Structure 1
Amino acid sequence: MPTTSHSSPPAEVGCPIPANTPHAISVALPKWQDNVDYEEGRERVVNRMLTGYPRFFINKQIEKLMSTCEQKFAKPSESCLLYPSRKTAERCRDYLRRYYELSNSASLRLAEFTVVTPDRNKLLIQGNITLHVVLFPKDAFSVAKTFWQHTGDGISSRLAEYALNILQTKFNEQYTKSFNKVFTKRASFCKRYSNGQISNLACEPKETLSTDISLIDNSNFIEQNFYVEERYGRNLPISFNEKAKIELRRRIASSIRIEESKDGSVLTERVEKNVTEDDVFLFPSGMSSIFHAHRFLLTAFSQRKSICFGFTYVDTLKILQKFGPGCYFYGNGLSSDIDEIESLLESGEKILALFCEFPSNPLCKSPDLRRLRILADKYDFPIVVDETIGNFVNVKVFEWADIIVSSLTKIFSGDRRYYEELKKVINNEYEDLLWGEDAVFLERNSRTFRERIMKINESTEEICELLRSSPKVRKIYYPKYVTPDIYLQYKTVNGGFGGLFSITFHSDLAAQQFFDSLVIAKGPSLGTNFTLACPYTILAHYHELDWASRYGVEPGLIRVSVGLEDKNDLLKMFQQSLDAITE
């Protein structure tokens, strides 16, 4: 089992977490005020951001590729975003048509840019790629960015890096041919060109660079990403990306378990026989799986409102509200809300589907899936469960859901009445947008998933017990303490309560003192191998704090995702943060 030693996390605002990681999915915002200033767009934070959460922050590699495409296709008044398929680009354009008020002179355009791999470069083995460019007026960028954020369908930073690397390689080849006309001894000082590797451009005059290449500098790409990851056995070779996807789908399918009683007292686990790799679909992000689940449902059935049950992650609600006819929101996720839903359905209202999380993020409430299932069967609607927080090691929700979304996966139940209709739609509509290199990294990172979850479960439970015993803590949101009677009905035999919890204090000042004194990584995201904390409500709902408070999500709430560090080190660190509270 991999272990992670406790060490000082990145302390500089805007640095990637983990440090020196080109494709990091979190960014250091180590102080409470850093998070507030980030949300308010203060230059002292925004100008120092080297990376960020992928759907909220456009990776620097993607920015470089966007600049290249803008030089090729855009008018001076236009910006662009890049997508991996024409259909995703068309959906972005349709979204802009709906939510951006076009002037008479403004237009929305699509362009395609195919990056062709040099034949002799054997290291660039994923083939040619076609970028789908959405061009729009510069002042529409913020609207276009919300589509990027909600859907999670933008291009991968690794895809951007790959495309930039091809462009750089092609430039190197063209420049070598031109340079050799004058200097026949070119190879004596630029030997790296002969085997397709990338120069740092130190010997090229900048004025000779084409507009496609002027922003590119990826000198360490091949050595660092290929040699270290492949030669030392950490990753499958990049050429195995399709096999990595198959292995991921099989691994997920075989991990979906339900419990059965054989003698009335002994519970054993078995693999659900109806789940195969053909029922698992991979997407480039967790939000992408939720977005497409909703889209497939709208395609398969009538255009009806959905129900969002419980206070879900921010973009789940946005997807249900903005794409299609809208939704009914029951943000508290209580039994009384189910009573209201039942009254709504009894009145004759037809709904598309019910979306919920098990448990919810960040309040860790568990919805009563059995009761919701009874309503779903009676009134003919599917249930979509996001079990990312619980995960299939800890909870068994398969038999109650029609669709499960978890991280990058989507699983369809063969036992439900909607299976054939949904499978027909998905076979027609599904696009594999998961970049091959990302799949290779995912395959590696999921090999010891079960063992890591068990270690995290143990650490998190002890940390929560420590915090709960302190009079300085107002409330701990953790499945063991929040709706435990419901959660325990769905907990697996050997599962735990997961690695995520939220905590509130008796004052905003106390919350800030606790957060600022934490000696762990602090930034957005969850589910990492290292412990990660953020002032969740500030980051997710800064411009709607009063609205979030109505559902129990207080401005001072801190969310923690526990990692693989030594348990005793973590306990000591959290105790020190409690001691730092002076109120």
Structure 2
Amino acid sequence: MPHSTPAENDVAVGESLPPQTPHAVSVSLPTWKANVGYEEGEEWVVSKMVTGYPRFFVHKIIQAFATKIAAKYGQPDDQAMLFPTSAIAGRCRDFFLRQAPELEAQQVWIIDLVPSSERARSEEFSVISPRVSAVLFPESHFKIAKTFWQHSGDGVSSRRAEYCQSLFDEGLLVDSKETQEVPKVCKGPRRYRQKTSIDLTGSGDNSNGNENHDSAQFVEQRFGRNLDISQTKNAKLAVRRRIAGSLTADVGLEKALSVKKDNDRIRDVPGFSEDDVYLYPCGMSSIFNAHRNMMATKAPMKSIVYGFPYIDTLKIVEKFGPGCQFYGHGSAEDLDDLEKRLEGGERFLALFTEFPGNPLLRSPDLERIRYLADKYDFFVVVDETIGNFLNVNVLPLADIVVSSLTKVFSGDSNVMGGGLVLNPKSKNYDALKRTWDEDYVDNHWAEDSIFLERNSRDFVSRIERINSNAEAIAEVLNAHPRVKKVYYPKYSDTRQNYDKCRNPNGGYGGLLSATFYTKQDAAKFFDNLDTVKGPSLGTNFTLSSPYVILAHYHELDWAASWGVEADLVRFSVGLEDTRKLVGTFQRALEAITDTDSHTTT
């Protein structure tokens, strides 16, 4: 149905979100039909995809680099999957051989690509650490490698691949077993050669009007593509301090570095500092490595997933350990059952939960979970991505807190990142800290860290605006007779659990979902909603999706058995003018009440 006013967010199928952003983490799927077509693999959608969510869609830059590596080092039918370190590649190989026992061990192997000589390891290289480890395997088994890539979140970022391919093409990145020759003097890809300081000036606009850039390059450059990589360490420290809660106002890098490390204003855990904060390539990587390290700390044991989770959390526990006790409803009755199991002698490694959950926005009873964990000795891991630490403080009730920094912490939808926090007051802290001290490697790519630091500088003020906008949208949806149910922490029957952890100035977050009485209403509303539409959340712009279609298309009956309806529409609310945003939702609601409208196909 045509809009009564021109659509402002009419982005073509398959275009990146934001448009013309080479390292974007979302992609436009603007209609209900396009989302179904994507899941069905229909050519009219898939052929137009310039990008996708990075764990589900291997970026074309990464694909191109992997193809070159496989062509040079592999067999004719080999493909490659790229990881930051040999250790991660080794975990992928181990998973591969478990999943495909019919393969000979030598059919799945690793190439470690490193700078080709000591001279190539300049000061810049010591900061950037341009290394890539490729797992090579028969092309027919790509799905297995992709499964590890998706669930672990430990693949290379597109920016790492872009940089390292440039070195590879110049002969400066070679197999670590090769004889190392002295290469030509080169300081890496051209965009790093310009000496700039984006971090301490605050400008970030290093574009040169005399240079001939295409629009995509210009957009990247406007937001800091010419980087002073010497600031990488400082950028990472500033990000960790923001995650630690030491920074409660919008500040740049220089101010962030002047804050004392034990100046904790949000987390409310004595002795906590950025020393207990770890950066990962993405949020799922922090969950994957939390599970892996907890098994190393204690023993491989079954874990609990409590509440309907983001898909890969459940898959990690099921596929990379002894199994899972799944409580998809996240109810008090589920905790009653867990307590009976514990009283009967069952033991578990950890309980994973989200606060609040995605997409039903239910909040677990963390106080009771903490009581059971202390009594029966299991770890508690809380994913705070949806709530975020400015709205809620869950650390005192957890052993480990994880989050996706890709989401609202960044906001700009152009960089991936994950955070993991250890609670120094947990009785398990000393054992966990020893494991992390022995195991942790910072694999967050330098350029990504600089983007993440820049994007997160106004995190505090953005959260306030997003909270306000989301409440306004929730009210509009909740008041409409054709809307079946609105899922939002403020309206949930678990609001009391949320409020127990809500900070004094905290709100209810920027994510909400809605269901309708018919699929036709859901689709018509979605198709007439003038926001951009695609996967991910926490963007500075409002982003909508038929979430269950995207996340659970091949298991819709299973999702429905846990109360998650196939036609649910999820909204990640952004920074737009509140009245304008309310009007956008009202017009989409009017479309489903217009009896003269054509039926959505």
TM-score normalised to the size of structure 1?
0.85
SS of the equivalent of 2:389 reads helix
Q: For residues 395 and 266 of structure 2, what CA distance do their matches in structure 1 show?
A: 13
Residue deviations 1:163-209 (CA, integer Å, cap 9, x gap): 233345669xxxxxxxxxxxxxxxxxxxxx999748xxxxxxxxxxx
Letter in 1 for 2:420: K
Residue identity matched to 1:545: L
1:129 corresponds to: 130
Distance 1:507 1:19 in 2: 32
Matched residues in 2 for 1:303 and 1:382: separation? 13
Q: 1:116 to 1:33 in 2, by over 3 A?
A: farther
CA separation in 1, counterparts of 2:505 and 2:140?
Answer: 53
Offset at 1:252?
A: 1.6
Farther-moved stretch of structure 1 (308-317 vs 160-169): 160-169
Residue 519 of structure 2 is aligned to residue 519 of structure 1: no
Counterpart for residue 328 of structure 2: 331
Q: Of the candidates 548, 568, 572, which is equivalent to residue 579 of structure 2?
A: 568
Q: Distance in 2 between matches of 1:432 and 1:108?
A: 26
Describe the shift of the 1:256–1:367 C-alpha distance in structure 2 as closer, same or farther (beyond 3 A): farther
CA apart distance, 1:254: 2.9
Alignment of 1:411-560 (within 5 A): 411-482=421-492, 483-560=494-571
Residue 314 (structure 1) shift? 0.3
Q: Distance in 2 between matches of 1:250 and 1:51?
A: 31
| Structure 1 residues 224 and 164, CA gap change in structure 2 (3 angstroms) | farther
**Equivalent residue, structure 1, for 2:273:** 276
Number of the residue aligned with 2:258: none
User: For the Cα contact (< 8 Å) 1:9–1:519, is it kept in 2?
Assistant: yes
Cα distance in 1 for partners of 2:73, 2:215 equals 27
Query: What is the Cα deviation at residue 126 of structure 1?
Result: 4.7
1:294/1:128 CA distance change after superposition, 3 Å: closer
Trace 1:368-383 onto structure 2 (pairs within 5 A): 368-383=365-380
Paired with 2:43 and 2:241, the residues of 1 have a C-alpha distance of 46
Report how far residue 396 of structure 1 moved: 1.4
**8 Å CA contact retained: 1:115, 1:163:** no
Q: Output the amino acid matched with 1:157.
A: S
Give the structure 2 partner of residue 241 of structure 1.
Answer: 232
Q: Using the TM superposition, give the Cα deviation of residue 443 of structure 1 relative to its aligned residue in structure 2, in angstroms.
A: 0.6
Match of 1:215 in 2: none
Alignment of 1:303-318 (within 5 A): 303-318=300-315
Measured in 2, the distance between the counterparts of 1:501 and 1:558 equals 9
Instruction: List per-residue Cα deviations over 1:447-486 (Å, max 9, x = no partner).
Output: 1111100100001001100110000100000000111122
SS of the aligned residue for 1:22 comes to coil
Q: Quote the offset at 1:383 in angstroms.
A: 0.5
- Partner in structure 1 of residue 49 of structure 2: 49
* Shift, 1:379, TM fit: 0.6
In the aligned structure 1, how far is the partner of 2:270 from the partner of 2:329? 35
Could you tell me how far apart the structure 2 residues matched to 1:60 and 1:450 are?
Answer: 34
Partner of 1:262: none
- Separation of aligned partners in 2, 1:106 and 1:351: 36
Q: Which runs of 5+ in 1 are unaligned?
A: 1-5, 172-192, 199-217, 258-267
Which residue of 1 is the match for residue 19 of structure 2? Answer: 19
Displacement of 1:381 in angstroms is: 1.0
Q: For residues 454 and 39 of structure 1, do their structure 2 counterparts lie closer, same or farther at Cα, with a shift above 3 Å needed?
A: same
1:496 and 1:167 map into 2 onto residues whose CA distance is 48
- What is the alpha-carbon distance in structure 2 between the residues aligned to residue 7 and residue 135 of structure 1? 46
Instruction: After superposition, give the CA deviation of every residue in 1:7-45 in whole Å (9 maximum; x if it has no partner).
Output: 823521110000000000000000111111111111111
Q: CA deviation at 1:229?
A: 4.1
Corresponding residue for 1:99? 99
What residue in structure 2 maps to residue 264 of structure 1? none
Residue 384 of structure 1 and its aligned partner are, at CA, apart by 0.4
Report matched runs for 1:149-298 at 5 Å.
149-167=150-168, 197=190, 224=218, 228-230=222-224, 237-255=228-246, 271-298=268-295
> How far apart in 2 are the matches of 1:195 and 1:292?
31
User: Counterparts of 2:317 and 2:419 in 1: how far apart (Å)?
Assistant: 19
TM-score where L is the length of structure 2: 0.83
Q: Does the aligned pair in 2 maintain the 1:309–1:356 contact within 8 Å?
A: yes
Q: Which stretch of the first structure deviates more once superposed, 118-127 or 322-331? A: 118-127
Query: In angstroms, what is the RMSD of aligned CA positions?
Result: 2.7
Whole-angstrom CA distance in 2 between matches of 1:223 and 1:54: 19
The alpha carbon displacement at 1:161 in A equals: 1.2
Cα distance in 1 between the residues matched to 2:568 and 2:103: 42
Q: Distance in 1 between matches of 2:400 and 2:267?
A: 20
Change in Cα spacing, 1:194 to 1:465, as seen in structure 2 (3 Å) is closer
Aligned equivalents of 1:379, 1:50: Cα separation in 2: 49
| 1:340 CA displacement | 0.2
- SS of the counterpart of 1:164? helix
Task: Report what 1:81 is aligned to.
Answer: 81
Deviations 1:258-289 (A, max 9, x none): xxxxxxxxxx9785332111100000100000
